[in-house]
């Protein structure tokens, strides 16, 4: 009963405040047809990314892990015409699909997909830094290192957002038998919580409160 009511409220918020346009729907269809991972953020999270980008007038956005290109479309739509989204993607074949989805959404002029392991690509982004917003949604074991780079590539006022930082409540405290992905997320939550240059909160805003964003603002 309560669950059903929650879902109805969330659906109404999504429809009123975060409707999906053709570009977003097309990206999801292309991801499905191309066999890309269909584990994208939800529309309310997409709109939240835009709200954060608007809050600090983001002009340069970095995404670590492109997945279906869905979050990238939400992010790029928050940019001014001369703004730029750089999205890092490990899989060359996925990158092709994502580039096409960005182009279909009318965002070819302000988006760039770079292919490779993020840890190899991140050092090459120092000339383009600082980024105003950094969205982390790649392999979970790598999150602590991605955070280090995100801070390095940021400025005071930059916002660092990471997906999947709730994971059913399993990523707040360490346990002896956790796998590398879980350990990476536990470490990420700990580092962001304790970091002297970050103001951080976790929002359980996905999958019925079982997952969600870690949001950190750089001081
Ligand atoms: C997985 C990864 C994600 O980024 C996500 O949002 C959901 C699931 C996964 O690797 O299983
Ligand atoms: Mg994710």
pLDDT tens by residue, 139-187 = 999 999 999 999 999 999 999 999 999 999 999 999 999 999 999 999 9
Of 69, 61, 62, 76, nearest in space to 26 by CA:
69
Distance 59 CA to ligand 2 centre (A): 23
What is the ipTM for the molecules in this complex?
0.97
Q: What is the pLDDT of residue 204?
A: 98
Q: Which of 42, 139, 164, 166 to mutate to test the pocket of ligand 1 (most atoms within 8 A of CB)?
A: 164
d(CA 104, CA 71): 15
Q: What is the pLDDT of residue 25?
A: 98
Going from N- to C-terminal start, the domains of the chain cover: 2-218
* Strand 111-115, strand 159-162: pairing: unpaired
Q: What is the pLDDT of residue 30?
A: 98
Q: What is the pLDDT of residue 180?
A: 98
Distance 195 CA to ligand 2 centre (A): 23
CATH classification code of 2-218: 3.40.50.150
Q: Which of 28, 37, 68, 203 to mutate to test the pocket of ligand 1 (most atoms within 8 A of CB)?
A: 37
Which of 13-40 are b and which e, b meaning 16 or more Cβ less than 10 Å from the residue's Cβ?
A: ebeeebebeebbebbbebbeeeebeeeb
Q: Considering only CA atoms, which residue is closest to atom 6 of ligand 1?
A: 39
Q: What is the pLDDT along the chain (219 residues), one digit of tens a residue?
A: 899 999 999 999 999 999 999 999 999 999 999 999 999 999 999 999 999 999 999 999 999 999 999 999 999 999 999 999 999 999 999 999 999 999 999 999 999 999 999 999 999 999 999 999 999 999 999 999 999 999 999 999 999 999 999 999 999 999 999 999 999 999 999 999 999 999 999 999 999 999 999 999 999
Residue with tokens 């970095």: 62
Name the burial class of residue 193, with classes exposed (0-12), middle (13-18) and buried (19+) by CB atoms within 10 angstroms of its CB. middle
Does ligand 1 have an atom closer than 6 angstroms to the CB of 206?
Answer: no
Does ligand 1 have an atom closer than 6 angstroms to the CB of 39?
Answer: yes
Distance 143 CA to ligand 2 centre (A): 12
Q: What is the pLDDT of residue 121?
A: 98
Contacts of 181 (CB under 8 A, 6+ apart): 139, 140, 141
């Amino acid at each position: 009963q309560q669950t059903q009511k929650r879902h109805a409220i969330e659906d109404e918020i999504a429809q009123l405040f975060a409707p999906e346009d053709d570009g977003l729907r097309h990206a999801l269809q292309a991801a499905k047809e191309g066999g890309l991972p269909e584990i994208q953020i939800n529309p309310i999270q997409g709109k939240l990314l835009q709200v954060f980008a608007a809050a600090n007038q983001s002009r340069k956005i970095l995404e670590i892990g492109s997945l279906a290109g869905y979050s990238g479309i939400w992010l790029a739509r928050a940019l001014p015409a001369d703004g730029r989204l750089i999205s890092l993607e490990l899989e060359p074949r996925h990158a092709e699909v994502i580039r096409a989805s960005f182009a279909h959404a009318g965002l070819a002029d302000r988006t760039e997909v770079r292919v490779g392991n993020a840890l190899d690509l991140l050092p090459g982004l120092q000339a383009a830094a600082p980024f105003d917003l950094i969205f982390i949604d790649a392999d979970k074991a790598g999150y602590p290192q991605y955070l280090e780079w995100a801070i390095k590539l940021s400025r005071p006022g930059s916002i660092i957002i990471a997906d999947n930082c709730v994971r059913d409540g399993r990523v707040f405290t360490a346990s002896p038998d956790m796998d590398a992905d879980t350990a990476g997320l536990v470490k990420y939550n700990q580092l962001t919580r304790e970091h002297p240059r970050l103001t951080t909160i976790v929002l359980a805003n996905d999958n019925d409160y079982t997952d969600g964003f870690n949001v950190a603002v750089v001081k």
